[in-house]
A and B are shown apart, each in its own frame.
Chain A
Amino acid sequence: MNDAVVAATPAPPMLRAEAVHKRYGRDEVLKGIDLQVGKGEVLCLIGPSGSGKSTFLRCINHLEKIDAGRIAVDGELLGYRQRGDRLHEMTERDVCRQRAAIGMVFQRFNLFAHMTALENIVEAPIRVKGEVKAEALGHARALLARVCLADKADAYPSRLSGGQQQRVAIARALAMRPKLMLFDEPTSALDPELVDEVLAVMRGLVDDGMTMVVVTHEMAFARDAGDRIAFMDAGVVVEQGPPQELLARPSHERTRAFLARLLGAPSRH
């Protein structure tokens, strides 16, 4: 590839994963994942449990090290620096800098239990990014208002419902002004009546043009909010495409079987 061609290439995608492999001992969890997410795009990852969706998500911000392949976020290789044809592992400081730009929301919220909602949100902006306290507090209050929890600023996580905790967790991730947000089954641990308040916040982010990768079992969300759905099974991306198309006319038997089971339709044709 010569320089002229490089200059003509459009801006790099927000996320590019190429042939990502991950093993736990002998167990190969990811068997070559290739995925791209453009800026402002929302990709929903679906698939049976154990298919590697969550592992892949954790690889994106280097919570798990990959065994082969490469992941680049916003054109920057993740966790490694390329010199010539070799990849050198990054220092912890550089990995932290990269992670700071990627927000992550967990299935079990993982709010810091010894801090109030507000303290949870300002902790990383102040300690990691070195933001001025007053500024960070102002931003945090705005974010709390945005997730409709302005009155819960001083509440400890144990005093909040699951849905409220997850909304604080989203605000905490947003406080770092991430360019990419990862959601790892954000509503799976919630009581059914609390799912919608979290999904509403996520839809708001979609409307604001946030780039998101969402591992989810919420098909309604994947259908209306996602730009694209990728179906994973047994460590590979079986197929991907626009939501309407993939959900209505899955081209693989495995996808059909999964969707049939999930949507409660008879799985045999």
Chain B
Amino acid sequence: MGPTRVVPLRRPWLWLSSAAVLALVVALAVSIWQNPHIDHAAIAQYQFAPAILKGLRLTIALALLAAVIGTVLGVVLAVMRLSQSPVLRLGSGLYTWLLRGTPLLVQILIWGNLALLFQHLGPFDTNAVLTPFVASVVALGLNEAAYMAEVVRAGILAVDRGQIDASLALGMSRSLAMRRIILPQAMRVIIPPAANQFVSLLKATSLVSVIAGGDLLTAAENISSANLKTIELMLVATFWYLAVTTVTGLGQYVLERRLARAGTGMLAP
């Protein structure tokens, strides 16, 4: 007698629904591919056009710069939010309330048109300092900070209180404990929502087309308003946005793996 065989449960509905989803995806791809109203030659022509690639570079630069500002300021705001001073807590709370509570589009328009409010920033001419690019970076970065503050705060709160006790008991200052003990451990909780934030930010860069930010969408729109091939250029832009967010997802995966390896393995898959 051989060993007893295990027969897996049959799941006909799982197979059926999977087949349905696959069929839908194929149908969609075919309908786009064979649609007579889509000029495939135009897509091929513009996919790597210099103007589009320039817009793409700008979009990536915008997103990276805004992410850096957002992360640094977000950490500061999160630490303020958790500080012992009611004034700092209130300041951080007000910031988050204001920037999360108003549409990003409005914030971009305000930064882009700040010259109407202040003609000079210190000794400088406002329009000279706040070029569309700079205004875009500032608007996106400050907005991102409000969200990152919450992400970082959640990460800090997720670290066991005993860690700060142990740090202080060893004679560490609060700031040293924050830098060396708390934030590194908070990272594991912060990375997934932060990557999510970054993907949102990447797509939000498209909003700066309203102040002629020169990003990918602006570039695509400029071309399509001249040749009226709107859908084709949106598909060109879509391809690039998906490409960049896919790379971001890969980066997140690598980062999480590395943190899980170095850490306790608590969050490792």
- Interfacial residues, chain A to chain B (CB-CB below 8 A): 61, 63, 92-93, 96-97, 99-104, 106, 108-114, 123-124, 127-129, 156-158, 169, 172-173, 176
Q: Within 8 Å of chain A (Cβ to Cβ): is B172?
A: yes
CB distance from A127 to the nearest CB of B (A): 6
Q: Within 8 Å of chain A (Cβ to Cβ): is B262?
A: yes
4 A-B pairs closest in CB distance? A100-B171, A158-B264, A110-B162, A110-B166
Alpha-carbon gap, A158 to B188, bound state (A): 15
- Interfacial residues, chain B to chain A (CB-CB below 8 A): 160, 162-163, 165-174, 176, 180-181, 184-185, 262-266
Q: A110-B162, A110-B163, A114-B184 are in contact. Are A128 and B263 (CB under 8 A)?
A: no
Residues of chain A lying within 8 A (CB to CB) of residue B264: 113-114, 156-158
Contact of A124 (CB < 8 Å), options: B163, B172, B265: B172
In the complex, are the beta carbons of B171 and A173 less than 8 A apart? no
Q: Beyond the given A128-B172, A156-B263, A156-B264, please list 19 additional residue pairs across the A-B interface where CB-CB is below 8 A.
A: A61-B169, A63-B168, A63-B169, A92-B173, A92-B174, A101-B171, A104-B169, A106-B162, A106-B165, A110-B162, A111-B166, A112-B185, A113-B163, A114-B185, A128-B170, A128-B176, A156-B265, A157-B264, A172-B170
Alpha-carbon gap, A111 to B169, bound state (A): 12
In the complex, are the beta carbons of A106 and B176 less than 8 A apart? no
Alpha-carbon gap, A103 to B171, bound state (A): 9
CB distance from B112 to the nearest CB of A (A): 42
Residues of chain B lying within 8 A (CB to CB) of residue A110: 160, 162-163, 165-166
Residues of chain A lying within 8 A (CB to CB) of residue B181: 112, 123
Most chain A CB within a 10 A radius of its CB, from B160, B163, B171, B264: B171
Q: Which residue of A lies closest to B261 (CB)?
A: A156
In the complex, are the beta carbons of B180 and A123 less than 8 A apart? yes
Residues of chain B lying within 8 A (CB to CB) of residue A123: 170, 180-181
Alpha-carbon gap, A102 to B266, bound state (A): 31
Q: Which residue of A lies closest to B185 (CB)?
A: A114
Alpha-carbon gap, A92 to B168, bound state (A): 10
Alpha-carbon gap, A92 to B172, bound state (A): 10
In the complex, are the beta carbons of B171 and A97 less than 8 A apart? yes
Alpha-carbon gap, A92 to B174, bound state (A): 9
In the complex, are the beta carbons of A96 and B172 less than 8 A apart? yes
Alpha-carbon gap, A172 to B165, bound state (A): 14
CB distance from A93 to the nearest CB of B (A): 7
